[in-house]
Structure 1
Amino acid sequence: MRHNYRNWPILLVLGIFSTPLLIMLVFQVVDSFTLKQPGSLIPSGFTLEHFRFLWEELDTGRAGIWRVTLNTFIFATTTATVVTAIALTAGYALSRLNFPARGFFLAGLIVLHAFPTVTLIIAIFLILQILGLYDTLIGVIIVKTALELPFGIWIMKGFYDTVPWEIEMAGVQDGASRLRVWWQLVLPQVQPGLMAILIFSFLSGWSEFILPLVLAPGSDAQVLATYMQALILDDTKADFDLFKAVGLFYALPVVVIYVIFQNKLMNIYGGGSKG
């Protein structure tokens, strides 16, 4: 009780700053399911008309909502899988192996992670055109994966640093190969980091907007973020209640993932205090 009493000023400040966001979310949910008279804040009736995008093809210049949702799922899932797979092995190498230019690679991870995506967009655009991957979903996936890798590798290296050397040495002395030791002894120790990187990479891919908009402007490679942008491209005749309903549909998987995996998401800050 005394500990909770000491923390109440912090909780009060956080509550004050969170209240406007909570109010906006409540209005978004209410407006998505109700009808209102112009200029009124009080709903006049219940409706599912704003969710017509689920069964009707909207005139947005984009593919239908289910095609766009599938593109978004493929984009986020593939990005998360590749980032996690590479980060698992690269993080181990940087944590455990002494090889030439190891310090250079560690510094490079920090530099690459510090670069904003927007500063690289022109160079990425030209590279994708040369490779023939411009305006394709696979091209955007490759770019997003490359940009997420420095963060993932650095975090996994931190988790590997917390695993005692004695665990590996005991396995090697018992006759196990280095690969078997990594798979059976080390990997279970860094499982929280693995799950955190997987979830964060998926959420980052799910919410990506700039890369699909610039690097895949065609209708076949659109994602939910660009689909929403198309809904209000002409704001003189935009249906904002429809926009709120699409936003609710877009945010629902993220909310579900957060509710289920919130404890594992916090684990990303528990690994890697060593450099």
Structure 2
Amino acid sequence: MSRTAAVPGLRIWHLVAVLSAMSAPLVIMYAFQIIDSVASPAPGALWPTGFDLNNWRFLWESVDSGRPGIWQVTFNTFVFASVTSLSVCAFSLTAAYALSRLNFPARRFFLAGLIVLHAFPTITLIIAIFIILQYLGLYDTLAGVILVKAALELPFGIWIMKGFYDTVPWEIEMAGVQDGASRFRVWWSLVLPQVQPGLAALLIISFLSGWSEFVLPLVLAPGAGAQVLATYMNAVIASETTQDFGLFKAIGMFYTRPVIVIYLIFQKRLMNIYGGGTKG
């Protein structure tokens, strides 16, 4: 019995050792990023000689006079991610319900189109999107980038929410209709609570996707007024006057903190995206 019990434990330790060895380079790189963000090592030196907060000066002063401050850029990023996630969830809730519950013409065509649109690379559409935004007068505006990002995220959101709606039994809706409730009332009071896990996961994923977006703001909103944190970091490292890798690492740490906090708090809800709605 002791040998039999010891073998699974030994296998687990082997697995932990392999995974630790594979993860070690990534952990070391993050550790050095944290150390370099609060220290200034001498040129060519591996270890820093002292503690220094000069790399975090972007929190209380402007890095470049021609660039907005970090708090304005952070606000732009928050607005971009929040409005994008709310828009995706609002449209996905209604569109996914229609695809799941209503039998309308060309329904199969719409379902197939969702998969095709989700699989289509964003970069291949960038020229067409650029022309359309210029025509609408939304180029180099935060509203234009939000509109594009939400539209590109919608196929994924609709497909995910349809899967959750499909797991909700028809009997729940039929019982509500027989009791005299309207179709909207049934959806709002009976069906929507059943798909809340999927809605919460979609909201978080859409927010994180908007928070980390780089290509769309860089191409469609290059001006300083609509700058987000991803493009702000790119401008810092690409500038000939403010090129500072210590500053770049500190801004990177500032940029990733909200993502880490959100993941630590809502990681269980994020796992619900792989499940379905709650039957009952």
Aligned pairs (5 A) from 1:3-18? 7-18=12-23
Change (3 A) 1:238 1:8: same
Local SS of the residue matching 1:217? coil
- The aligned counterpart of 1:117 is 122
Matches within 5 A, 1:11-90: 11-59=16-64, 61-90=66-95
Residue 11 of structure 1: how far off its partner (Å): 4.1
Distance 2:188 2:11 in 1: 44
Q: How far is 1:22 from its partner? A: 1.1
Equivalent in the alignment of 1:271: 276
Larger radius of gyration: 2
Of 68, 80, 100, the match for 1:95: 100
Check 1:96–1:9 CA distance in 2 against 1; reply closer, same or farther (3 A cut): farther
Q: Is the 8 A contact 1:94 1:102 kept in 2?
A: yes
Provide the rounded CA distance (Å) in 2 between the counterparts of 1:5 and 1:134.
Answer: 59
Report if the CA contact (8 A) 2:236-2:242 is conserved. Answer: no
1:180 partnered with 2:185 = yes
Q: Which consecutive residues of structure 2, in runs of 5 or more, have no partner in the other structure?
A: none
Q: TM-score, normalised by structure 2?
A: 0.92
With normalisation by structure 1, the TM-score equals: 0.94
Alignment of 1:251-270 (within 5 A): 251-270=256-275
* 1:220 corresponding residue in structure 2: 225
Matched residue type, 1:249: F
Amino acid at match of 1:22: V
Cα distance in 1 between the residues matched to 2:9 and 2:89: 38
- Superposition CA RMSD, Å: 1.8
Question: Displacement of 1:85 after TM fit?
Answer: 0.6
**2:238 counterpart of 1:233:** yes
- The share of aligned pairs that are identical, in percent, is 71
SS of match in other structure, 2:62? coil
Name the SS of the counterpart of 1:184 in structure 2.
helix
Evaluate the alpha carbon distance shift between residue 3 and residue 195 of structure 1 in structure 2; reply closer, same or farther with a 3 A threshold: farther
Unaligned runs of 5+ in 1: none
Distance 1:29 1:115, change over 3 A: same
